[in-house]
A and B are shown apart, each in its own frame.
Chain A
């Protein structure tokens, strides 16, 4: 099979693409975690507007396909931003594929993270938070020092699942032209007329990401539940 020789010849380019994929995944994860925490606190807040906004956010995300949102933000967002920009006399703003891709994926998974965090926050006994307040901690300190470490254990299984799905969703950025591993494999497969081998490589690369993630998540899960007795 000469195709495998071609695969080795294109390997440096493919590995660069894999780095792009992993970068997109991590940047989107960071956005999703921040948005998720915000959405969860809003959902649990007393403010009716806050709860309504968070519910609208998660409902819209659950109802619309990720690719539609990505195309909307990449193509539609470009036009809208420059329409607004023209009004305020800004310079032309270019929404590149990386920004649009990570923002969309982060925005989508922020909604799912919000649901996960909401459940996890509700699992933390209120007494712990009250104790923190009694010690004179500020709201922010109680949040960062008591709530987040305590709820992480409950959030981890859901968070892990979200991460595994998020990683696979990053493949969509190839559609809006970001040179990730999928797009590079497509180009290499096209020019060598061996698309099967190149896409198989991509599939194996994603399987490797998934497998490593599962190992890491299991390890993390053990660490976070160190103080919990198991039957």
Chain B
């Protein structure tokens, strides 16, 4: 095994890393912003509000991310109106935006269901207490339901972040030079797929565990006061004994 070509091309890997990081963080950020209102709509009892969101999440959670990306890039990108649009806006010819669109919608769908679960798991006493204090519906959401729901959603959401990071590797299929794209270039240039992919696998591994560590820290530090109530309740019961 000879890893020198990888060290010689570290700049290519570094560029790939930045593309991956940009792609994943933008997709996650936009997806998260989309998912909060969608999750609130999804908890509605009115089928006209709940139904479309259900259909959206069912489609995006039930089909492979790869197919969604192809639908965007090949399918949507070759529609007449998109071709005309990309003549005026040249940046639309870049595969990056189609991958970003697919990733964003995908993560929005998963995050919506995660947050919906967390909202529905809110202890009802908290909502009643907010009502008793005279809070309006929107104020109850902002101050009571959402903060505790976010805390409860955090473990599942950290899985979603990892899933998105790993899922983003398919961007290399539509010509984007992300981290895996860099490895594929090195692999075909030096005919050393084994070393190139092992190295990139190691990079992904490090990023994954840095993220997992970050989320653990976040859970312990930032959201300590919002730790799920069930836990503290049992602790309190058990302590005297």
Contact residues of A with B, CB < 8 Å?
Answer: 60, 62-69, 71-72, 75-77, 79-80, 168-172, 174-175, 182, 186, 189-190, 193, 195-197, 199-200, 202-203, 206-207, 210-211
Contacts and interface: CB of A to CB of B under 8 A. Distances in A.
Contacts, number: 118
A182 B74 contact: no
Nearest to A77: B194
Contacts of A207: 58-59, 62-63
Given A63-B209, A189-B74, A171 B66 contact: yes
A14 to B, nearest CB: 13
B170 interface: yes
B78 A76 contact: no
B157 interface: no
**What is the predominant secondary structure among interface residues of chain B facing chain A?**
helix
Contact of B59 (A75, A186, A193, A203): A203
B148 interface: no
Interface string B31-67: 0000000000000000000000000001100111111
Contacts of B198: 72, 76
30 contacts: A63-B205, A63-B208, A63-B209, A64-B201, A65-B165, A66-B166, A67-B169, A67-B180, A68-B169, A68-B200, A68-B204, A71-B193, A71-B197, A72-B193, A72-B197, A75-B187, A75-B194, A80-B194, A169-B64, A171-B64, A172-B64, A174-B66, A175-B170, A175-B173, A189-B75, A193-B78, A195-B75, A199-B70, A202-B67, A206-B64
B193 A65 contact: no
